[in-house]
Structure 1
Amino acid sequence: MTDPETRAAYDAVAALYAELFSDVLETLPLERALLGAFAELVRVHDAGPIADIGCGPGHVTAHLHGLGASTFGIDLSPEMVALARQAHPGLRFDVGSMTALDLADGVLGGILASYSTIHTRPEHLPAVFAEFERVLAPGGHLLLGFFAGDDPLPREFDHKVAPAYRWSPDSLADLLRQAGFAEVGRLRREPFEHERQFHQAQLLVRKNP
C-alpha cells in the first residue's frame, strides 16, 4: 500500500485499535522477554535512543521507556499519534513515514518496527531497510516483528486494517543482510488463541560497524 492509503486505514480504526491492543503485551511473555533483551543491548551500546517506528497508540514505546530505555514513537497515522500523546503525555510521539524519516544519519541506538512493515509492498521493503540503516548508529540494533510463512516469496493476505504480507524469516533476514545488518537472533512461535492464525516472528539484527 501507499503511505496515504495506510494512513487513512489506520486513522479510521485508531480508537478501536488502541482499545484492543494497548494492554496486549500482558499476554505476550516471549515478546516481553525479547523487548527486554533489545532494550538492554541498546543501553549497553549507548549510541542513541530507540525509535519505535509504527508506534500506534504508544503502548510498546511506553513499555520500553519503563525498561529504562530512552524511547520515542513515530507513526504514519496522526490519529494514532494523538492517542499516544494523550495516553503517555511524558513521552515524545511524532507523525512520520518510515520511508523518509526526519532524522539525521546515525542518531539512533535502536529501532523497533513491530509489525509496522507488514503493509509495505515487497519491492519497496529494501528502501525501508536502507532508511533504517541510515538513521542507526554503527552497531545499533533493529528489532523487526512480522507475520511468518514458509514460502520463500512474500504472500499477501487480508489483514483486518489493510492488505499485508507474510514473510519467510530467512527471506527477510537476507534482505536485511543486503541492507547492511547482521542477524543477532530470531523468534518464531505459534499463534495464541486470540491472534490471527499465522506464526508470529521477530528478527533482531545489528547494523554493521
Structure 2
Amino acid sequence: MARAGDHDRTRTSYDTVAETYLGTVGGELAHKPLDRALLAALLEQAGDGAPVADLGCGPGHVTGWLAAHGARAVGIDLSPGMVALARREHPAAEFREGDLLRLPAGDGEFGAAVALYSVIHLEPDELAPAFAEARRVLRPGGRLLVSFHVGTEVRHLDDWWGHPVDVDFRFLEPAAVAALLGAAGFEAEATLERAHYPQEPETTRAYILARRPEA
C-alpha cells in the first residue's frame, strides 16, 4: 500500500497550477446549487460549534463557504501552494498541509467532513485507508460527503491550463465507493448522481453522504 509520502507528483502538479486553479475554479460554487444544498445539509447535521473539515481543500473556496455559513471550518490539502492561497483568500478559516492517508487532525476532532473531488487522485488501494482515516477524525455520528466523477477511466494530464504537470484523475463507480466506505466503518445515507453543469467538464458527478455510527 502506498504511503502518505508517495504523492509527490500530485503535490507538485497542484503547486504548479495553484494560481490558475484559483482563478478558474475558485468561484465555482456560485453556479453549483446542488453542491451548496448538500453542504448546507451537512452543516445542519454537524451540530452547533462542531469543526468541519474540507479534505483536499485546494484554494479553500469550499472551506471559505463553510466558514461564511457559520462553521468552524478547517481545510486540509496536500499542496503547500494551495494552502498558502487558501490562507490568503479565506482568513476566517483554518488551513493545514496534509495527506488524505495521514490527516493532521486528532481522533474525533470534526463533527463533519467533505472530500469533494479529492479522492480521485488516490490509487485504488489507497481509497480504503483514506476512508478509514476520515472516519478516525470524525466524531461518532459525524458525516462525510464524498464527490467524484463516475466511471472507470483514468485521465492523465501532462499539461493543465498551459502548465506542465503529471497528475492522474481516476473516475469511480458509486457502488464500489459505497462498499469501501462501508468497509471503513461508515453507513451510507444517500447516493445521488447529476449531469455536469455548463461550466464544467462533461462528466457525470456522484455524491455519497455517509455517517460514522454512534457506537
- Taking structure 2 as the reference length, the TM-score comes to 0.90
Is the Cα contact below 8 Å between 1:147 and 1:200 reproduced in 2? yes
Partner of 1:195: 200
Q: Which residue of structure 1 lines up, in the alignment, with residue 67 of structure 2?
A: 65
Distance 2:120 2:114 in 1: 13
Structure 1: distance between partners of 2:209 and 2:109: 19
Shift of 1:193: 2.5
Native 8 Å contact 2:97 2:104 kept in 1? no
User: CA contact under 8 A between 2:15 and 2:79: conserved in structure 1?
Assistant: yes
What is the count of residue pairs matched by the alignment? 203
Q: What is the CA–CA distance in structure 2 between the aligned matches of 1:137 and 1:85, rounded to whole Å?
A: 25
Secondary structure of 1:7 counterpart? helix
Letter in 2 for 1:28: K
CA deviation string 1:52-92 (max 9, x = no partner)? 11111111101111221211111111110111111112221
1:39 partner letter:
L
- Unmatched 5+ residue regions in structure 1? none
> SS at 1:191's partner residue?
coil
Matched residues in 2 for 1:63 and 1:193: separation? Answer: 22
Amino acid of the residue matched to residue 181 of structure 1? F
Q: 1:91 aligns with which of 88, 93, 101?
A: 93
1:138 offset after TM fit, Å? 0.9
> Percent identity over the alignment?
41
Q: Secondary structure at the match of 1:118?
A: helix
Q: Structure 1, residues 122-180: CA drift from partner, whole Å, max 9, x if none?
A: 1111111111111111111000011012xxxx432235562111111111001100100
Q: Which is further off, 27-36 or 88-97?
A: 88-97
Residue 114 of structure 1: aligned partner: 116
2:58 & 2:211 partners in 1: Cα distance?
A: 24
User: 1:43·1:69 contact (CA, 8 Å) conserved in 2?
Assistant: no
**In structure 1, how many angstroms separate the alpha carbons of the residues matched to 2:201 and 2:192?**
17
Question: In 1, are the aligned partners of 2:77 and 2:97 still within 8 Å (CA)?
Answer: yes
Amino acid at match of 2:61: H
TM-score normalised by L of structure 1: 0.92
Q: By how many angstroms is 1:102 displaced?
A: 1.9
Residue 181 of structure 2 aligns with which residue?
176
Deviations 1:27-65, CA, capped at 9 Å, x for gaps: 111111111101111126x6x311111111111101111
Contact 1:99 1:127 in 2 (8 A): yes
Q: Which moved more, 1:18-27 or 1:185-194?
A: 185-194
